Amino acid sequence: MLSKSEKNYFINIPLTVMALVCIVTGFLLDFKLNAFNAKSLHIWSGYILTGILVLHFLMHVEWIANLTKTIFRNKMKVMAAFVTLIVSVGICYSIIVFSPQGNAHGLEGDGRRSFQAE
């Protein structure tokens, strides 16, 4: 039987490999280098990474719950967690809105339409 540390070790190996593959293929695609079918590899490594992350979180749900309880006992730590959440969401929103590839509203990063309005 594997110890808790060994289970973590063996889940972190594929987690790290898939994250690195996803990162490297993401850069390749960003630089328009679709070598060795990087797009498919990027997409599938992202799916596999997501599955492993879910498993990883499920393995640590008790630790997450206990740490969350501890953090919510301290107002400064709650504020730090809230600020971290807001900054993270803000970064994602900024990437979506100001991306040079355009966004769901058809706007380029400078506010111009990236496609013809209907």
Q: What is the pLDDT of residues 49-84, one digit of tens each?
A: 999 999 999 999 999 999 999 999 999 999 999 999
- The pLDDT assigned to 110 comes to 52
Confidence grade of residue 115 (pLDDT, cut at 50, 70, 90): very low
Task: Annotate the chain with three-state secondary structure.
Answer: CCCHHHHHHHHHHHHHHHHHHHHHHHHHHHCCCCHHHHHHHHHHHHHHHHHHHHHHHHHCHHHHHHHHHHHCCCHHHHHHHHHHHHHHHHHHHHHHHHCCCCCCCCECCCCCECCCCC
Residue 101 pLDDT > 70: no
d(CA 21, CA 40): 11
**9 touches 47 (CB < 8 A):** no
**How confident is the model at residue 92, as a pLDDT?**
93
Q: What is the pLDDT of residue 30?
A: 85
Give the pLDDT confidence score for residue 17 in this predicted structure: 96
pLDDT band at 31 (very low <50, low <70, confident <90, very high): confident
Phi, psi of 8 (to 5 degrees): -60, -45
**Ramachandran sector of residue 32 (left: φ over 0; alpha: ψ -120 to 50; beta: rest):** left
Split at pLDDT 50, 70, 90, the class of 12 is very high
